[in-house]
């Protein structure tokens, strides 16, 4: 969920024939990840999936299992996570949202749900994912959003970080930003866009790609911080990608500031376009002044 997404290099599942009387639904949810081991259900710790399935099963009065667009890691947040699930009983989108939210803990909430075609798959139908990484570049640590942003005390050069982003674009090998535990068959991904935005003391890294490797976004941010702190030039990012050696890049950035903020699907599937979030950011971020 992490920023670990498995779509690239994976075979699309065969078109499904749902049993008679079974309806497929999609839902969009938000969550504050600090209290969870990630989206995916785990035996040892509470997960977002566990809480969501329990709430949806209450509404359906049947066991519900969900599939998601991206399995976010421990402490990573989402303002736009997408899931699909099958139900033997039909409920309106309103009923799914209101009923599930009445059972979910405060840090998790559905914002939309509706019927979708039987072939919809939250993971395999997606065209791209977008993450935002939010940094509070203040001299004193934040209290109100202590687990919602990453605090960097020393001044950051946002323009230098933005210049470094240009080297991330395109389809290439991202081994330099791939965690050792990544199970993806391929280290190639296609980054569609990467920018740095600044709003007051907040510095926001926004990146869109077809999919991401394990810890890819946080590893990129760790190296961008080295550029922002003046320890490395912007061109260092290009060098890291060419070398393809994770040992040469910077330490993984903290999970606190990372949000899954959008998942793009073909228009015909009918999923709504919602503000990217998180809620404390404006709907549209301006580019840095040239």
Active site residues: 73
C-alpha dist (Å) from residue 244 to 176, 241, 247, 262 = 4, 5, 9, 28
Cβ pair 181, 246 in contact under 8 A? no
d(CA 227, CA 158) in angstroms, rounded, equals: 9
> What 3-state class would DSSP assign to 266?
coil
Cβ pair 275, 283 in contact under 8 A? yes
Phi, psi of 264 (to 5 degrees): -95, 135
Cβ pair 253, 150 in contact under 8 A? yes
């Amino acid at each position: 969920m992490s920023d670990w997404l498995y779509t690239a290099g994976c075979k699309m599942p065969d078109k499904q024939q749902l049993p008679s009387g079974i309806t497929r639904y999609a839902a969009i949810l938000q969550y504050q990840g600090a209290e969870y081991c990630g989206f995916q259900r785990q035996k040892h710790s509470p997960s977002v999936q566990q809480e969501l399935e329990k709430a949806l099963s209450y509404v359906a009065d049947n066991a519900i299992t969900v599939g998601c667009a991206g399995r976010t890691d421990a402490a990573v947040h989402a303002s736009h996570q997408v899931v699909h699930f099958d139900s033997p009983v039909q409920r309106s989108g309103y009923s799914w949202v209101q009923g599930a939210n009445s059972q979910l803990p405060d840090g998790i909430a559905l914002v939309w749900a509706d019927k979708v075609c039987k072939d919809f798959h939250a993971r395999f139908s997606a065209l791209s994912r977008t993450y935002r990484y939010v940094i509070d570049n203040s001299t004193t640590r934040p209290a109100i959003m202590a687990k919602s942003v990453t605090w960097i005390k020393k001044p950051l050069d946002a323009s230098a970080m933005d210049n470094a982003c240009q080297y991330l674009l395109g389809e290439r090998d991202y081994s330099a930003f791939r965690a050792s535990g990544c199970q993806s068959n391929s280290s190639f991904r296609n980054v569609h866009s990467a920018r740095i935005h600044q709003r007051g003391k907040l510095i926001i890294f926004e990146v869109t790609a077809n999919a991401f490797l394990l810890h890819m976004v946080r590893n990129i941010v760790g190296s961008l911080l080295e550029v922002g702190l003046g320890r490395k030039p912007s061109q260092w990012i290009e060098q890291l990608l060419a070398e393809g050696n994770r040992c040469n890049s910077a330490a993984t950035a903290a999970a606190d500031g990372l949000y899954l903020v959008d998942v793009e699907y073909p228009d015909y599937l009918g999923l709504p376009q919602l503000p990217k979030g998180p809620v404390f950011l404006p709907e549209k971020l301006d580019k840095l002044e040239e």
